[in-house]
Chains A and B, each alone.
Chain A
Amino acid sequence: MTNRFLGFGLGLRAPHFEQIIAEKPAVDWFEIISENYFVAGGKPWHYLNKIRSDYPIVMHGVSMSIGSTDAINKDYLNQLKNTIARVEPQWVSDHLCFTQVGGINSHDLLPMPYTNEALEHLANKISQVQDYLGREMIFENVSSYLTYNASQMSEWEFLAQLHKQTGCKFLMDVNNVYVSARNHDFNAMDYLSAIPSTAIAQIHLAGHQDFGTHIIDTHDEDVPDAVWDLYAQYAKTLGPVSTMIERDDNIGSLDDLITELEHAKTLVKPFWDIRA
């Protein structure tokens, strides 16, 4: 799969549906939460069908639980496959984490231990899921608040190894790297530089809440300066990568999000060959 540069996108959220349809704002593409469309019909699909006729769509899941030692959930994958067939997205992503254990779903993105066992497990699971779906998946790094004694390598070494073993590509959430770097006291650029730039298919930018002693990844705030700085620094090391603002809560106006998106463009323009 090539790293198609779609430009600068936004997470598609219900409060903005009607404005997007009416005004067709200058956003290059939208990302949907896959599971929000695991329903048969009604307004969610009505709006999505209209919006996807004007914009490229990518799908982003939160419940694949690729890292779980539970068997792959074929009901989930069938729903995902059906949704992919209806949406015809540019690509499909989920998170490198586990959410489900023993059939119980935490609905949280729980961090993996960075062990050889977990690496082998993920490589097998990714292969199984991609075979079942008949397409490649992209996986996002999660933010975390703890690390395990069992870990045998850093998170960035783990991701680099996973890419080497499987060829899988990543959705790099720059905010998540920043959050984890603060929570675990590492250098965020050490993390970002360790992953081959050719492995990066998409970038997320988001906000968080800073409690001084730690940061919680809330996706309910504007992108803070520290994350913008990290993004700009990271962009110097990359070719153009499809970038989006991800806002999951306290969703503000579409206009404010577009202003943030314009800022992202301004930051990377010196480094990326992009048309305004």
Chain B
Amino acid sequence: MSDLAKLQQQFMDLLQGESSDISDQIAQQGQLNTQQRLSIYQNAYKIRLRAVVEQDHEQLGIYLGDDLFEMMVDGYLALYPSTHTSLRIFADKLPDYLATNTPFNDYPILADIAKFERLLLSAFDASDKTLLNVSELESIEPQQWPNLLLKLHPSVQLVAFNTLAVESWQAIKEKQTPPEPIASEPRFWVIARDIDRRTQYLSVDEQEHRLLNLLKQNTPFAQLCQSCLNELPGEQIAGFLITKINQWLERGWLINE
């Protein structure tokens, strides 16, 4: 290992809180001693990454309170140091961390709130696509419909929670007391940008959630119809789906591709 590589590794070891000989490399000068000079970098490292988690997960931070938030940041930073050049990615594994590490995994709502906040970010900066409009949909020949592949906008994120994560997130944002965390039945959500590029979230029923998931998996229209056979009489299915598709069009969830 070259001298330069060794010095850089020692510096990174210091930031990571590992044993490091970097202080032997630092020149004595001025009014600050070596430890004070190194502490500036150690503090900046943690402050910067903590700020990223705080910014990405503002409501989670309030839900946790200061002490647990600090514990979470310390634990996350130790297990998942940043390996990406973009800070946008840094906290991507936070939901996994909360779901698998004590004491946070005793409270499944924490991982769910974190997941919800990450999906908001994913919707916010997903790629732009040309939206499908009604006239384009109407111009599709009847014989093409069975094999029609409707495409969801890249911002459309689908998630189901067994907790009241979204309701709690919303309550915290509105400075209200969050509800009890566990839901009596699963909650299904769509998170997406609207036609004005605002990030929105919407509660949907299990059937609509399943249909949207099928679209994500490039399922043709005929199979969407089949998937509704257990829930609707055959003659109502096409009409039901056309209504849904029109709603999705209005929300900007379908693209012309």
Binding site for B on A (CB under 8 A): 35, 38-46, 63, 65, 68-69, 73, 75-76, 79, 98-108, 110, 113, 115, 117-118, 121, 145-151, 183-185, 213-214, 216
- Chain B 73-86 against A: per-residue CB contact (8 Å), 1 yes, 0 no? 00000000111111
Which of B4, B24, B82 contacts A107, CB < 8 Å? B82
| A104 engages B12 (CB within 8 Å) | yes
16 A–B contacts from the bound complex (CB under 8 Å): A40-B125, A40-B126, A41-B128, A42-B123, A69-B2, A69-B8, A104-B83, A107-B45, A108-B41, A108-B45, A110-B8, A117-B2, A146-B26, A146-B27, A184-B30, A213-B31
Asked if A101 meets B9 with Cβ closer than 8 Å, knowing A35-B85, A73-B85, A213-B32, the reply is yes
Chain B interface mostly: helix
| Bound Cα distance from A192 to B177, whole angstroms | 57
| A113 engages B4 (CB within 8 Å) | yes
Which residues of chain B from 84 to 133 have any CB-CB distance to chain A below 8 Å in the complex?
Answer: 84-88, 90, 123-128
- Chain B 14-52 against A: per-residue CB contact (8 Å), 1 yes, 0 no? 011000000011110111101011101100110011000
- Give the most central of A38, A103, A118, A146: most B CB within 10 Å: A146
- Distance in Å: Cβ of A79 to nearest Cβ of chain B: 8
B5 at the interface (CB under 8 A from A): yes
Binding site for A on B (CB under 8 A): 2-5, 7-9, 11-12, 15-16, 24-27, 29-32, 34, 36-38, 40-41, 44-45, 48-49, 81-88, 90, 123-128, 154-155, 193, 197
- Give the most central of B11, B90, B126: most A CB within 10 Å: B11
Asked if A148 meets B128 with Cβ closer than 8 Å, knowing A104-B83, A107-B87, A108-B44, the reply is no
Residues from chain A with a CB closer than 8 A to the CB of B7 are 113, 148, 150
Number of cross-chain contacts by CB at 8 Å:
135
- Distance in Å: Cβ of A124 to nearest Cβ of chain B: 12
Residues from chain B with a CB closer than 8 A to the CB of A184 are 29-30
| Bound Cα distance from A118 to B7, whole angstroms | 11
| Bound Cα distance from A145 to B81, whole angstroms | 23
Residues from chain B with a CB closer than 8 A to the CB of A101 are 8-9, 11-12
| B197 engages A102 (CB within 8 Å) | no
| A105 engages B84 (CB within 8 Å) | yes
| Bound Cα distance from A184 to B26, whole angstroms | 12
| B128 engages A150 (CB within 8 Å) | no
| Bound Cα distance from A261 to B231, whole angstroms | 65
- Give the most central of A75, A110, A216: most B CB within 10 Å: A110
| A45 engages B128 (CB within 8 Å) | yes
Q: Which residue of A lies closest to B39 (CB)?
A: A145
Asked if A149 meets B25 with Cβ closer than 8 Å, knowing A108-B48, A113-B4, the reply is yes
| A185 engages B83 (CB within 8 Å) | no
Q: Which residue of A lies closest to B3 (CB)?
A: A117
